Amino acid sequence: MTSFMPQKRYYRQRAHSNPMAHHEFNYPVCPEEMDWSELYPDFFTGSSSKNGTSQVEFADIGCGYGGLLVELSTLFPDKLILGMEIRVKVSDYVQDRIKSLRESEPGSYQNIACIRSNAMKYLPNFFSKGQLSKIVGYGLVYTNTDVEEVHLWMVKHFTEHPLFTRVTDQELDGDVIVSRLGTCTEEGKKVQRNGGKNFLAVFRRIEDPNFGQEN
Amino acid sequence: MSASVGFCSRWFISTCDRWLVAVDSKQDREPFVFDCSTAEKKPKNPSTDGDEGGAEETRSDRILAFAVSPCGNLVALTDDSKRLILFRCEASSWRCISVRFVVRRCTSLAFSQAEDQLLAADKSGDVYSFSVLNPDQDGELKMGHLSMVLAVTLSLDDRFIITSDRDEKIRVSCLRSPYNIQSFCLGHKQFISALLVPPGHSQRLVSGSGDGTLRLWEFESGRHLQSVDLRDLMDPEKTDNDNEKEKRCGVRGHRCGVRGHCVDHLYSVFTGVLSVLRVSLVQFFSLDQDQLSPHSRLTPPHQPLDVTFDPEGRLWVLMDSDHSPLQIYTHRCGSWQCDTDSPDLTRVSAAFRIHWDKLDASVRTASRFDHLYVVNYDNVSEYMKKKQQRLDQQSQKRNLDQKRRPDAKKMKTPTANS
């Protein structure tokens, strides 16, 4: 069965969805019980030459229409990347898009997938401790927005959090993700068209400075 | 919260509605009675209370939770008027040490082993630490969940704080640095209303949930060791109908009894709702390294409301009865036996009944569980139906077009950038 590329106009949904509402989501009881083979069939079947014990290492929280996922797929072909999107229509679009891309280019785009979920509530259900930390020693969190207040809010909270430290612009020189963050997503392109500014901030997870300091 | 009981050294404690009543179980003396409505009210702060609206918030002075310190000389309680009250029991008298205020109504309290801090978990999911050494100091925000926290406890060495919420999660965090999550204990399918780290089993956690199970964990790693379905323990006669068995069950609480120097038994009061009947049972479990095993069951003469162990390891049961609300059970000759003639029971019952009789029967048994069940709203099916209709229509249209113009060009193949 050939899938045609989904047309965005059938999948439009407003930007905000209440993460505190009790919508029905599918999520595993715990990370050990998650069946990733449905999302990454090539990586989790016996017939594949790829390592069956692969793990998702990158997560795009609020992946929208999947622009970043598609871009990262070819940049990191051996990494499993998961997009999480709370909106019904939008996550459905990404799933349809990935399905269609996989069919049109066999062997490609097998390492990306999207699930409809509430990352705020269910991140610990999907990912075990340290799973997303394999990128550069400890994990990196990339934040990007065109709204300055949101940027300042995120910077404030990550900076105040003892387990994160800001990665300087110097250290980010040459980072492949940074250069694409502002341009490959729907939102990013819209900001470019409107002549808006992109605010980027990257943070690295560090060791607990207070650990072991009991009494 | 319905009526609750506990022990503070030799004092039998009970809370119901807005009263705390403490009765000396070993000596005849005047009980200590505290009425929360007599305590000072939260001062109105125009800058922070502005968002509560112009109308006076309706509040009662009902006690929502209480806790006894490990050494048994401090008691803390929190009420519907957002008070947090600390009492000290020394020599034979009780003293109210401080009345502080919490930001939001609390659900659960726990003292640290060192008795230097009192942890209070609230309805918005936040956990605050209140100093015991400086009893007038304001609470400090320590950590939070995204949904209501229902139970809070600490590891026996005060290294970890363990919290459980309405969203099926148990979180283990470092007490000194609560932003540092040690692990999650994931497995329950409904809210988790009871947590216990049993004395003598410092690596273990027992949890009770609205999904009707008791679970055993190695909490530092989050490893799930065992699940006991309480519905399996219910009497077959009462559950001849499978539908009824599916009805909701919540765990009221865990208590641990100590006899001599070794820990004996856990109990679990299990409240099940079967059609219109409310069934409660007091079930004992024994715990060895990795296994919780059902031990024996009590059938008190009246509906049990709560239970507690006293320092001698006897189990006191509070029941929904006007005339004989209290009963003691002692472990003798391998089983738990009713101790109706105990002088301690007589003494406590006499003093307790004076206050128990004043209460309306309805305040004894308010159910805390029904409103905690999460009802999910399906926002996917409708969309999927419409999508399928759209796809079917498009498919029909394409078939018609092809029949009319079989030589027409096919659609472009999709690329990554479209």
Per-residue pLDDT of chain B (418 residues; tens, 9 = 90+): 678 899 999 999 999 999 999 999 999 999 999 999 999 988 876 655 545 544 456 678 999 999 999 998 999 999 999 999 999 998 789 999 999 999 999 999 999 999 999 999 999 999 999 999 999 999 999 999 999 999 999 999 999 999 999 999 999 999 999 999 999 999 999 899 889 998 888 999 999 888 888 899 999 999 999 998 877 776 655 544 444 444 556 666 666 554 443 445 555 554 443 333 355 678 888 887 788 888 788 888 888 888 888 888 888 999 889 889 999 998 877 788 898 899 999 999 999 999 999 888 887 776 667 778 777 788 888 899 999 999 899 889 988 888 887 766 655 545 555 4
Residues A140 and A114 grouped into a single domain: no
- At which residue do the structure tokens 């509560």 appear? B52
Residues A90 and A122 grouped into a single domain: yes
Q: Is the minimum CB–CB distance between B382 and chain A shorter than 8 Å? A: no
Q: Does residue A103 have a known ligand-binding role?
A: no
Residues A103 and A143 grouped into a single domain: no
**CA separation for the pair B244, B221 (Å, rounded):** 36
**CA separation for the pair A112, A80 (Å, rounded):** 6
Q: Verify whether the Cβ–Cβ distance B414 to A104 is below 8 Å.
A: yes
Q: Of A132, A149, A183, which one is at a domain's C-terminal end?
A: A132
Residues A193 and A140 grouped into a single domain: yes
**Beta partners for B185?**
B170
Number of domains in chain A: 2
Q: Does residue A177 have a known ligand-binding role?
A: no
Whole-prediction pTM? 0.88
Residues A146 and A108 grouped into a single domain: no
Handedness of CA A28, A32, A33, A35 (dihedral sign): positive
Selecting from B167, B189, B411 the residue whose C-beta is nearest the C-beta of A4 gives B411
Q: How many CB atoms lie under 10 A from the CB of residue B366?
A: 13
Tokens for B181, please give them: 């999550």
**Radius of gyration of the CA atoms of chain A, in A:** 18
Exposed/middle/buried for residue A42 (C-beta within 10 Å: 0-12, 13-18, 19+):
middle
**What distance in Å separates residue B387's CA from the closest CA in chain A?**
9
- What type of residue sits at position B289? Q
Q: Verify whether the Cβ–Cβ distance B179 to A163 is below 8 Å.
A: yes
Selecting from B146, B174, B183 the residue whose C-beta is nearest the C-beta of A129 gives B183
The pLDDT score that the predictor gives to residue A46 is 54
A43-90 residue pLDDT tens: 987 544 445 578 899 999 999 999 999 999 999 999 999 999 999 999
Q: Verify whether the Cβ–Cβ distance B180 to A29 is below 8 Å.
A: no
Residues A127 and A177 grouped into a single domain: no
Q: Does residue A159 have a known ligand-binding role?
A: no
B-facing residues of A in 175-204 (CB < 8 A) are: none
Residues A77 and A152 grouped into a single domain: no
Dihedral in degrees, nearest 10, Cα atoms A205, B181, A20, A25? 90
The pLDDT score that the predictor gives to residue B410 is 58
Q: Is the minimum CB–CB distance between A26 and chain B shorter than 8 Å? A: no
Q: Is the minimum CB–CB distance between A115 and chain B shorter than 8 Å? A: no
| CATH number of the domain that residue A154 is part of | 3.40.50.150
Exposed/middle/buried for residue B288 (C-beta within 10 Å: 0-12, 13-18, 19+):
exposed
Q: Does residue A119 have a known ligand-binding role?
A: yes
Q: What is the domain extent for residue A143?
A: 134-214
Q: Verify whether the Cβ–Cβ distance B377 to A124 is below 8 Å.
A: no
Largest alpha-carbon pair distance within chain B?
104
**CA separation for the pair B415, B392 (Å, rounded):** 24
C-alpha distance from residue B14 to each of A142, A152, B26, B65, B141 (Å)? 52, 50, 16, 11, 29
Q: Of A75, A97, A132, which one is at a domain's C-terminal end?
A: A132
The chain B residue lying nearest A71, using CA atoms, is B416
Q: Verify whether the Cβ–Cβ distance A23 to B376 is below 8 Å.
A: yes
**What distance in Å separates residue A148's CA from the closest CA in chain B?**
25
Q: Of A99, A115, A132, which one is at a domain's C-terminal end?
A: A132
Confidence class for position A133, pLDDT limits 50, 70, 90: low
Residues A82 and A139 grouped into a single domain: no
The chain B residue lying nearest A93, using CA atoms, is B387
Q: Is the minimum CB–CB distance between B390 and chain A shorter than 8 Å? A: yes
Exposed/middle/buried for residue B42 (C-beta within 10 Å: 0-12, 13-18, 19+):
middle
Which has the closest alpha carbon to B227: B151, B160, B290, B298? B290
Residues A128 and A174 grouped into a single domain: no
Q: Is the minimum CB–CB distance between A160 and chain B shorter than 8 Å? A: no
- At which residue do the structure tokens 């930001």 appear? B103
Residues A57 and A80 grouped into a single domain: yes
Q: Is the minimum CB–CB distance between A129 and chain B shorter than 8 Å? A: yes
Q: Is the minimum CB–CB distance between B242 and chain A shorter than 8 Å? A: no
Is the pLDDT at A29 greater than 80, yes or no?
yes
* Strands B19-24, B11-16: pairing kind: antiparallel
Residues A4 and A62 grouped into a single domain: yes
Residues A144 and A187 grouped into a single domain: yes
Selecting from A20, A24, A104 the residue whose C-beta is nearest the C-beta of B380 gives A24
Confidence class for position A137, pLDDT limits 50, 70, 90: very low
